[in-house]
């Protein structure tokens, strides 16, 4: 009995969705099983299934679902070859189903409406789905439908096999479903986190609870916001540790380097006499490079209390671009800028924000210079007001970055450059945060990168 009931609903659901065509290969087997059953049992289960379908149908689809379900049960009764003597009974039964289904469709907002708890379940911020023991999808709430990016009416009643090849589901979603199913088969439970193609972090849990009578409860929660908070906290911890390291080692290393540099300069005449003055030059340049790294260490811990002053964003950008134009010319780049609001005003530490802008523009020029193509390098810099913030955008058409690089972009010591220290962007991140702003990056391989810097906007006063 349980076997035919489990198969009946997905076959009916597919019949309704497909516009009145029975396409399942197991339909004949179900028909043979139903031949030995009382017609009342079939009708009772059919009405339950119709009510279930209608409870999740859109208002404009309800009448269509009623008509197709009536067509389904009518064809079923005929195919069961009811004896001729029972023709009147068949007609009465069909009429009873028609009246019952019509009553379901036209019922007022009463017992047939979802109760309060079901409404809450439908509109939870977590995606909820329920599969029966045979793998048929019996329930799907609104949030799960949004996560799957497919209408509920096209999914309810589908088997797992159908979902794996469902035309309304993206390939990436179907691949994740197959992977989760494999782990579920191996361990009889599943609780894991993965990132989809849109960059969202999803926490998936599958439970087999005794109270569900063998059904599987699937819940999916978007934890991207929590992940962002976690990553920000982790980033702040790393920056705090970086500050402690910088403060501890900077003076200890700088003093001996100063002594070494002085003695090398004293030895320069002797090195020149023996034709080894090049060694002295190399040693001095390496000492200077070490001093530069130490200076960056110190800067990484310093920007905690910016000395703010009001300045027009347009003026700040023009001054910064003037400092970058000569290097851009040497690297074959053009810098374009556009200020949408000439009175866009911010209160910042000008020196620190210039350091951030110069660092990002320099990175953009390096990314363009590394592209082995004949296309012209362009850096677009724009500024506009967005809500309570002044948004500065710096976009280039360089080599772009992979997702793995983007996720570590602001980590101290992480760099993709052979001679980089990995401190420039981590310092920039710290500076922007200390100004009460945020910084975001979007990048595509071989297309370019865009930095979005949000800084608190202040009213312009003459």
- Going by pLDDT thresholds of 50, 70 and 90, the confidence category of residue 381 is very high
In a domain, 151, yes or no: yes
Predicted TM-score (pTM) of this structure: 0.45
Question: Residue 323: which of 355, 292, 345 has the closest Cα?
Answer: 355
Quote the pLDDT of residue 115: 55
What count of other Cβ atoms lies within 10 Å of the Cβ of residue 374? 5
- Going by pLDDT thresholds of 50, 70 and 90, the confidence category of residue 109 is very low
In a domain, 111, yes or no: no
Which residues lie closer than 8 Å to 256 by C-beta, 6 or more apart? none
Mean pLDDT across 432-453: 91
- Going by pLDDT thresholds of 50, 70 and 90, the confidence category of residue 392 is very high
What count of other Cβ atoms lies within 10 Å of the Cβ of residue 213? 8
Question: Which sign, positive or negative, has the C-alpha torsion 169, 170, 173, 175?
Answer: positive
Is 128 in the same domain as 7?
no
Quote the pLDDT of residue 111: 44
Quote the pLDDT of residue 212: 63
Quote the pLDDT of residue 118: 63
Is 290 in the same domain as 336?
no
pLDDT value at 169 more than 90: no
Joined tokens for residue 377: 């390098």
pLDDT value at 455 more than 90: yes
From 192, 222, 252, the end of a domain falls on 222
pLDDT value at 6 more than 90: no
Quote the pLDDT of residue 438: 92
Environment class of 40 (CB within 10 Å of its CB; exposed 0-12, middle 13-18, buried 19+): exposed
Confirm if 356 and 388 have CB atoms less than 8 A apart: no
pLDDT value at 47 more than 60: yes
Quote the pLDDT of residue 460: 64
Is 62 in the same domain as 137?
no
What is the C-alpha to C-alpha distance for residues 341 and 296, in angstroms, rounded to an integer? 34
Mean pLDDT across 4-27: 71
| Count of alpha carbons within 13 angstroms of residue 372, beta-carbon side | 0
Q: What is the DSSP letter of 410?
A: T
Instruction: Please state, rounded to an integer, the average pLDDT across all residues of the chain.
Output: 77
From 222, 251, 282, the end of a domain falls on 222
Query: Which range is least confidently modeled, 14-28, 111-125, 307-321?
Result: 111-125
Quote the pLDDT of residue 1: 44
Three-class SS state of 198: coil
Question: Residue 61: which of 75, 50, 72, 76 has the closest Cα?
Answer: 50
CATH of the domain at 323: 3.30.565.10
Quote the pLDDT of residue 105: 43
Which residues lie closer than 8 Å to 292 by C-beta, 6 or more apart? none
Query: Which range is least confidently modeled, 160-174, 235-249, 282-296, 329-343?
Result: 235-249
In a domain, 72, yes or no: yes
Confirm if 378 and 333 have CB atoms less than 8 A apart: yes
Name the residue with higher pLDDT: 70 or 126: 126
Is 201 in the same domain as 234?
no
> What's the number of domains the chain is made of?
4
- Going by pLDDT thresholds of 50, 70 and 90, the confidence category of residue 86 is very low
Three-class SS state of 223: coil
pLDDT digits (tens, 9 = 90+) for 184-224: 777 766 777 877 777 788 888 887 766 566 678 888 888 88
pLDDT value at 380 more than 90: yes
In a domain, 59, yes or no: yes
From 194, 222, 250, the end of a domain falls on 222
Sheet holding 190-195, edge to edge: 137-140, 127-131, 216-222, 201-208, 190-195
Is 315 in the same domain as 453?
yes
Is 182 in the same domain as 271?
no
Joined tokens for residue 245: 């390291």
Mean pLDDT across 233-238: 76
CATH of the domain at 207: 3.30.450.20
Helix/strand/coil percentages in the chain, nearest 5 = 55, 20, 25
Is 165 in the same domain as 273?
no
pLDDT value at 317 more than 90: yes
- Going by pLDDT thresholds of 50, 70 and 90, the confidence category of residue 87 is very low
Tokens 């208002």 locate to: 59
Angstrom distances, CA of residue 139 to CA of 72, 180, 215, 373, 377 = 21, 19, 11, 53, 53
Is 271 in the same domain as 201?
no
Quote the pLDDT of residue 117: 61
Q: What is the DSSP letter of 226?
A: H
Is 315 in the same domain as 452?
yes
pLDDT value at 278 more than 80: yes
- Going by pLDDT thresholds of 50, 70 and 90, the confidence category of residue 12 is confident
pLDDT digits (tens, 9 = 90+) for 336-365: 999 888 888 999 988 889 889 998 999 899
In a domain, 332, yes or no: yes
| C-alpha torsion angle, residues 400, 381, 423, 306 (rounded to 10) | -160
Work out the percent of the chain whose per-residue pLDDT is above 90.
12
Structural domain for 41, as ranges: 2-106
Question: Residue 347: which of 311, 293, 304 has the closest Cα?
Answer: 311
Environment class of 258 (CB within 10 Å of its CB; exposed 0-12, middle 13-18, buried 19+): exposed
pLDDT value at 302 more than 60: no
pLDDT value at 92 more than 60: no
In a domain, 382, yes or no: yes
Joined tokens for residue 437: 């702003």
Which residues lie closer than 8 Å to 330 by C-beta, 6 or more apart? none
Is 208 in the same domain as 246?
no
Is 385 in the same domain as 284?
no
Is 410 in the same domain as 345?
yes
What is the C-alpha to C-alpha distance for residues 222 and 242, in angstroms, rounded to an integer? 32
Backbone angles phi, psi at 57, to 5 degrees: -85, 150
């Amino acid at each position: 009995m349980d076997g035919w009931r489990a198969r009946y609903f997905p076959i009916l659901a597919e019949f309704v969705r497909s516009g009145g065509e029975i396409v399942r290969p197991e339909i004949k087997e179900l028909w043979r099983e139903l031949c030995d059953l009382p017609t009342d049992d079939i009708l009772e289960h059919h009405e339950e299934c119709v009510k279930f379908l209608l409870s999740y149908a859109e208002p404009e689809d309800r009448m269509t679902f009623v008509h197709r379900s009536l067509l389904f049960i009518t064809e079923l009764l005929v195919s069961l070859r009811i004896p001729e003597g029972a023709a009147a009974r068949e007609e009465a039964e069909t009429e009873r189903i028609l009246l019952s289904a019509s009553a379901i469709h036209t019922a007022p907002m009463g017992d047939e409406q979802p109760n309060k708890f079901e409404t809450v379940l439908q509109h939870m911020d977590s995606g909820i789905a329920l599969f029966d023991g045979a793998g048929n999808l019996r329930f799907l709430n609104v949030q799960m439908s949004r996560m799957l990016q497919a209408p509920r009416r096209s999914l309810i009643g589908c088997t797992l096999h159908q979902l794996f090849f469902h035309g309304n589901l993206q390939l990436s979603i179907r691949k994740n479903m197959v992977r989760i199913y494999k782990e579920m088969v191996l361990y009889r439970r599943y609780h894991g986190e993965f990132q989809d193609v849109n960059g969202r972090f999803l926490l998936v849990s599958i439970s087999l609870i005794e109270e569900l009578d063998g059904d599987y409860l699937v819940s999916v929660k978007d934890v991207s916001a929590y992940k962002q908070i976690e990553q920000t906290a982790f980033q702040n911890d790393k920056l705090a540790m970086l500050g402690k390291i910088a403060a501890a080692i900077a003076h200890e290393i700088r003093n001996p380097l100063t002594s070494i540099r002085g003695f090398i300069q004293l030895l320069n005449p002797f090195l020149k006499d023996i034709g080894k003055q090049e060694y002295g030059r190399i040693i001095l340049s390496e000492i200077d490079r070490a001093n530069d790294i130490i200076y960056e260490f110190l800067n990484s811990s310093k920007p905690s209390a910016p000395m703010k002053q009001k300045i027009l964003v347009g003026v700040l950008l023009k001054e910064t671009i003037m400092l970058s134009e000569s290097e851009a010319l040497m690297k074959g780049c053009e810098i374009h800028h556009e200020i949408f609001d000439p009175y866009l005003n911010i209160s910042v530490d000008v020196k620190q924000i210039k350091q951030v802008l110069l660092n990002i523009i320099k990175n953009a020029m390096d990314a363009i210079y590394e592209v082995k193509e004949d296309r012209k390098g362009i850096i677009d810099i724009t500024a506009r007001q967005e809500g309570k913030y002044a948004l500065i955008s710096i976009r280039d058409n360089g080599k772009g970055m992979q997702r793995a690089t983007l996720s570590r972009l602001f980590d101290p010591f992480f760099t993709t450059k052979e001679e980089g220290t990995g401190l420039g962007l981590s310092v920039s991140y710290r500076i922007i945060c200390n100004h009460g702003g945020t910084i975001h990056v979007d990048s595509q391989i071989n297309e370019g990168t865009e930095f979005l810097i949000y800084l608190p906007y202040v009213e312009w006063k003459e």
